[in-house]
Amino acid sequence: MTTLFGDLAGDLTGEPGRRPPLVLLHGLTFDRTSWHPVLAELATLDPGRQVLALDLPGHGESPAWPSYNMESLAEGVHRAVEETGLRPPALAGHSVAGVIATIYAGRHPAAGVVNVDQPLQVAPFARLVQSLAGPLRGPGFAQVWAQFEASMGIGRLPQAAQDLLQSARYVRQDLVTGYWRDAIDRPVEELARQVSDGMAAVRDAKVPYVYVAGHDAGQDYLGWLNRELPQAEVTVWPGSGHFPHLARPGRFAELLAATARWA
């Protein structure tokens, strides 16, 4: 039986305690089962930790929404947190959910954010998808998506992780273009300003922040991130592709367990 928190399907495990609860948010076209290898490791490293793993709208067992802008998604996650009565959580967001988690932390009480391989300098991505808007929304979607998926490095993962992602995969044109609608349609400068404002709120609130990258993020980006979000800790696991939490689930579980010290 599916349990809904607000209007998002999810699993709530563990017990309330002094450690901040964890909220786990998967990436675009996957679902909450993609966290299973990490949760298996976490059960040993941090037993009893309260964890809420959610399916984003239109994924897994969560119903679709008419639109998927990042602010409304962050508010949907907040409604789920409120319904469970959780203390301010530490949020881990993979891929686009890294943006959702960041926006959440700028708007609502949060113990911290773990951003899994989601750059916050959105202008380059927005320019790319705007240049591909025609194929993305037309008959060329499958070919364009295959190129994006090839860049994720899924083939570098252990076979069990590859099989898991295949079983948790929800590639639909309406879903992808719905989540990317702002990036496709809004002026790049406006979109960048929105993300910058969200980061400023996180910076001013001094929310702990960890960025986990599966490849070298580049000195230009790291310099920009340090200026925009000075408290951000950067961890790079080379060769992990877009899924460092699945390439090294034990190490990622250690990182999540360490968030217990976040107030």
d(CA 116, CA 247): 12
In DSSP notation, 154-185 reads GGGS-HHHHHHHHHT----HHHHHHHTHHHHH
d(CA 168, CA 33): 7
d(CA 220, CA 237): 18
> What is the arithmetic mean of pLDDT over 85-106?
97
Residue 85, token pair as written in the block: 């009565």
With 0-12 CB in 10 A as exposed, 13-18 as middle and 19+ as buried, what is 21? buried
AA letter at 22: L
pTM above 0.95, yes or no: yes
In which band, very low, low, confident or very high, does the pLDDT at 2 lie, cut at 50, 70 and 90?
A: confident
Residue 1: per-residue pLDDT: 63
The tens digit of pLDDT for each residue in 146-170 reads 999 999 999 999 999 999 999 999 9
Residue 218: per-residue pLDDT: 93
> What is the arithmetic mean of pLDDT over 32-51?
98
Residue 32: per-residue pLDDT: 98
pLDDT exceeds cutoff 90 at 259: yes
Q: Contact, 256 vs 38, CB < 8 A? A: yes
Strands 209-213 and 22-25: unpaired
> What is the arithmetic mean of pLDDT over 11-28?
96
> What is the arithmetic mean of pLDDT over 178-191?
96
In which band, very low, low, confident or very high, does the pLDDT at 143 lie, cut at 50, 70 and 90?
A: very high
- From 26-30, 91-95, 189-193, the region with the lowest mean pLDDT: 189-193
* Whole-number average pLDDT of the chain: 96
Residues of the chain with pLDDT > 90, as a percent, come to 97
